[in-house]
């Protein structure tokens, strides 16, 4: 199972984090997937949410971004 979450980094940008488990008991630990890297065409944005799916041996990740007033 893979879990993705948007964390408030207490800095200018939020970060997308990932954690995974094979057996539901032992977890890999949170790791940064995207850290303050907004889409180039949308400066000053934060990740709104994240979705993922597995196909074969790959995990595909998608994030939606929202404009901020920063």
Number of domains in the chain: 1
Cα dist from 69 to 2, 21, 37, 44, 45, whole Å:
32, 37, 17, 7, 8
Half-sphere exposure of residue 7: CA atoms within 13 angstroms, side-chain side: 16
Model pTM score: 0.50
Containing structural domain, residue 55: 2-67
Q: What are the mean pLDDT values of the chain's consecutive 10-residue runs (70 residues total)? A: 74 75 89 64 62 78 67
């Amino acid at each position: 199972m893979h879990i993705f979450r948007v964390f408030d980094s207490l800095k200018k940008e939020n970060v997308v984090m990932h954690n995974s488990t094979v057996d539901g008991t032992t977890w890999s630990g949170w790791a940064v997937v995207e850290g303050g890297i907004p889409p180039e065409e949308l400066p000053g944005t934060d990740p709104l949410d994240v979705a993922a799916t597995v196909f074969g041996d790959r995990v595909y990740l998608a994030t939606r971004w929202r404009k901020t007033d920063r």
